Structure 1
Amino acid sequence: MFSKACEYGIRAAVYISVQSLEGNRVNVNQIAEKIDSPVAFTAKILQLLTKNHIAHSVKGPAGGFEIDTARMKSIQLSEIVRAIDGDDIYVGCGLGLKECNANKPCPLHDKFVDIRASLKTMLTTTSLHELAIGLEEGMTFLKR
């Protein structure tokens, strides 16, 4: 459903959020290890999260990535998806066809409309803080 980059982006944002709640900054190597992602790929994803004001990068020996704990409650998953994958998930064809629309639907079009609407609701109503708290409390996990 999401691109691999988006999956890693969500995982990275959640991990950084947990660390930020504990008052820690984390570096790219730590993040890559915790989300089970290649370091170079993780670095590119972190650039997108930083560019889109989801994460903040601090340079220097005590530097690393952090997410503002006050803003964390207002960062919705939809912001992370948009930063990495754009809005294609809300408008794209379920089969990946270029010409699929209400006038010329693919075989899944009508069923996929409902799935897309439910997905959009989930992404716009789930905060980064909510996911971080679940991870911090041990109710969820990031690595297999």
Structure 2
Amino acid sequence: MFSKTCEYGIRATIFIASESYQNKRVGLKDIAKKIDSPEAFTAKILQILSKDKIIDSIKGVGGGFEIEKEKMKDIKLSHIVTALEGDSIFTGCGLGLSHCSETHPCPVHDKFKIIRNELSFMLENTNLEELALGIKSGDTFLRY
């Protein structure tokens, strides 16, 4: 459903948020290890998320990545997805065609539209705080 970039970006953001709840900053190596992602790839993703102000990057000794607790309830999964992928997941064709529309639909258009709308609803209505709290409580996990 999501690209690897998006999967790793969501995982990294949730991990950073869960650590931030414990007043901890996390470094690139720890994030990459925890989400099982290549370090260089993770660095590029974190750079995008930092540029879009989803995560905070603190340089120097004691630096790392964090998210202000107060911001977590306002950061929706849709913000992370849009920062990393643009809006194609919300508007794109299920078969990847460039000219699929209501007036000129692809073979899966009507069925995919329902799924895309449900996915959009979930992404718009799921915030980072609830996901981080699931990790913190042990009810959910990022790596098996």
TM-score range, shorter chain: over 0.9
Instruction: Give TM-score, length-normalised by structure 1.
Output: 0.98
Q: Quick check: 1:139 aligned with 2:139?
A: yes
Matches within 5 A, 1:1-144: 1-144=1-144
> Which amino acid is the alignment partner of residue 34 of structure 1?
K
CA distance in 1, matches of 2:82, 2:113: 19
Instruction: Specify the SS of the correspondent of 2:65.
Output: strand
Deviations 1:59-96 (A, max 9, x none): 11100000011111110000000000010001111011
> Which amino acid is the alignment partner of residue 118 of structure 1?
E
Instruction: Specify the SS of the correspondent of 1:133.
Output: helix
Percent of residue pairs identical: 56
Instruction: Specify the SS of the correspondent of 1:65.
Output: strand
Instruction: Specify the SS of the correspondent of 1:107.
Output: coil
Instruction: Give TM-score, length-normalised by structure 2.
Output: 0.98
Tell me how far 1:2 sits from its aligned partner: 1.1
Q: List gaps (5 residues or longer) in structure 1.
A: none
Give the superposed CA RMSD.
0.7
> Which amino acid is the alignment partner of residue 28 of structure 2?
V
Q: List gaps (5 residues or longer) in structure 2.
A: none
CA distance in 1, matches of 2:58, 2:99: 44
